[in-house]
């Protein structure tokens, strides 16, 4: 099992319920393939650095999970098939990146308190 992090951007014209359904769909897909979800973050509506599909904003989400490497290609294919996904990026985390992810999660918890 490898450690991965995926960030994806959803179309800003989606309703809040549609965003939740889409995020849940991708989370369920990973879990059905044997993934262990470590962390999820909803970064909310953010301004894009450059327009994508003539849109200037998007809903950002992050998944951190452990799964077998052969699950990633079909998972990314699901992103490409879904019209509500504007962009995505999956990164395999090494031990240093995984340690940084733990530090980042702790900072997020502290900032919420």
Sketch the domain layout of the chain as residue ranges.
2-112
Per-residue pLDDT for 83 more than 80? yes
Burial of 105 (0-12, 13-18, 19+ CB in 10 A): middle
3-state secondary structure of 32: helix
pTM of the model as a whole: 0.87
In this structure, are residues 61 and 42 in contact, taking their beta carbons and an 8 Å threshold? yes
Mean pLDDT estimate for the chain: 91
Cβ partners under 8 Å of residue 45, min gap 6: 12, 57, 58, 59, 60
Per-residue pLDDT tens over the stretch 36-62: 999 999 999 999 999 999 999 999 999
Q: What is the CATH number of domain 2-112?
A: 3.30.70.60
3-state secondary structure of 78: helix
């Amino acid at each position: 099992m490898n450690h991965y992090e995926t960030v994806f951007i959803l179309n800003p014209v989606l309703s809040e319920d549609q965003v939740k359904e889409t995020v849940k769909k991708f989370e369920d897909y990973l879990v059905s393939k044997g993934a262990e979800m470590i962390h999820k973050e909803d970064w909310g509506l953010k301004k894009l650095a450059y327009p994508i599909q003539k849109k200037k904003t998007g809903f950002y989400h992050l998944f951190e999970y452990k799964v077998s490497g052969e699950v990633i290609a079909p998972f990314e294919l699901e992103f490409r098939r879904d019209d509500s996904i504007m962009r995505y990026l999956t990164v395999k985390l090494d031990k240093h990146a995984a340690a940084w992810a733990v530090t980042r999660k702790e900072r997020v918890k502290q900032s919420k308190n």
